[in-house]
Structure 1
Amino acid sequence: MSANEIGREVAELLFKAGAIHVSRQQPFILAAGWASPVYVDVRLLLGDPDLRQAVSDLAARYATAAFASGSLEAIAGAETAGIPFAAWLADRLALKLRYVRKRPLGIGRNAQVEGGPVEGLRVLLMDDLTTDGGSKLNFARGLRAAGAEVEHVLTIFYHDAFPGAGERLKEAGLRLHALANWGDVLRAEGGGGLAPEDRAEIERFLADPVAWSTRHGGRTRLAPRS
């Protein structure tokens, strides 16, 4: 199964879960501060057994194709929604499981990592959603501080409208892998269920998301690179 086929199937699962929310009247303010007419709630995949089984199978197919056998030793789920997705993927790939907190709890080298030591382990960081990549940098720093080797981030959905995430992660020695993005959502058969005015608003947003965010009270520019 190709990456494009996986992207299309994940997008279909998101539509089945009712995870694609469009609001033309009141914009969503995403965690990264951007204003958007659409919000993808990947966490809705967690609640349905068929949907979570399906997305976990697709994640395993992607990982098997993307990473050489033996190149990963553990999956680390990002607090909070990344943890169950990481657990299901770790089971399918027969790898160790860890999770990484948003901030250290307590003191010591492993204050941000739970589930066991990661020193010397080749770890895949996993999360449900990526927007600007800022939280992924924080999670990777926590894992690396505990001695893990972290070079890859896997996310269920990449909100790739706003530029800069891939570049920021690359500068930090991280490669972003996404099962699905906006192109997959708009190409998915389930996307045909979008009302014409909703699809038109999404397309206007995607044409210039920074300007759209600025007009609707969200962030007005990219964050400076550290």
Structure 2
Amino acid sequence: MTVTTARALAARIAETACIRDAFTLADGQALDSYFDEYRLAADPQLLHDVADAMTALVPEDADVLAGIELGGVPLAIALSAATGLPAAFLRRLPKRYGSQRQIEGTSVEGRRVVLVDDVVRSGGQLLAMTRILRITGAPVTDALCVLERPLGGRLLLHQHGVTLHPLLTEADLPAIGAAS
């Protein structure tokens, strides 16, 4: 992707999914603006273009793309369609009824899994999912996201053998300031 194309995509993402409004994170931290991944996922052309741009981030030896509930799921589906790689879907907790699975979609056991999420902040959620996948026998060494916030996630993941590959960093979206 050229610099001009990357800037244009970042501008489209900011226009569509960067919201200036009060927002409270799960940990109670309050923000005055945030990244609304659902607006990105609801725009079919933008989702397609983001997935196309993210294909360059997928390691060549990847076997499965695993989207994290809920924001990573539409991204994993779009990226799966763009790359031809199968997808799996990760729940934070096992389903309480039906299959009672925590991992849905394609089998991950013994396959090189790349995690896919919308925003990475502290990295805690990606690390938790990495641990679950590794317990099932799936090697995980890479994670992709649309937006990385500089809140320690990259370092935490690195300490556990996972390399983070963001499409954009918070600095790429100056119009939003403090994106979630």
1:173 paired with 2:171, answer: no
Give the count of matched residue pairs. 177
Relative to the length of structure 1, the TM-score reads 0.70
Shift of 1:116: 3.2
Local SS of the residue matching 1:183 = helix
From 81, 87, 94, give the equivalent of 1:97. Answer: 87
* Aligned residue among 16, 20, 33 for 1:38: 33
* Structure-2 residue corresponding to 1:56: 51
CA shift for structure 1 position 126: 0.2
Q: Cα distance, 1:6 vs. partner?
A: 6.7
Residue 10 of structure 1: CA displacement?
Answer: 3.8
What is the CA–CA distance in structure 1 between the aligned matches of 2:76 and 2:12, rounded to whole Å?
18
Structure 1, unpaired ranges of 5+: 192-198, 207-226
- In the TM superposition, residue 13 of structure 1 has moved relative to its aligned partner by 2.1
> Using the alignment, how far apart are the partners of 1:31 and 1:153 within structure 2?
21
Counterpart residue number, 1:21? 19
RMSD: 2.4
Q: CA deviation at 1:123?
A: 0.6
1:119 aligns with 2:104: no
Which amino acid in 2 is paired with 1:62? L
2 CA distance for matches of 1:174 and 1:105?
A: 26
Q: Which has the higher strand share?
A: 2
Q: 1:151 to 1:13 in 2, by over 3 A?
A: same
- C-alpha contact (below 8 Å) 1:123/1:148 kept by paired residues: yes
Cα 1:143/1:94, change in 2 over 3 Å: same
Distance 1:177 1:6 in 2: 18
Q: Equivalences for 1:151-162 in 2 at 5 Å?
A: 151-160=141-150, 162=151
Residue segments in structure 2 that go unaligned for 5+ positions in a row: none
Task: Tell me the SS of whatever aligns to 1:57.
Answer: helix
Q: Measure, in 1, the Cα distance between the counterparts of 2:57 and 2:162.
A: 17
Structure 1 or 2: more helix by fraction: 1
Does the 8 Å CA contact 1:13/1:55 hold for their aligned counterparts? no
Summarize the Cα distance change of 1:54–1:158 in structure 2 as closer, same or farther, 3 Å threshold.
same
Of all paired residues, the percent bearing the same amino acid is 31
Question: Does residue 1:86 correspond to 2:93, yes or no?
Answer: no
TM-score (norm 2): 0.86
Match of 2:67 in 1: 77
Which is higher, the Rg of structure 1 or of structure 2? 1
Contact 2:89 2:105 in 1 (8 A): yes
Secondary structure of the residue aligned to 1:176 is strand
| Separation in structure 1 between the aligned mates of residue 137 and residue 160 of structure 2, nearest angstrom | 16
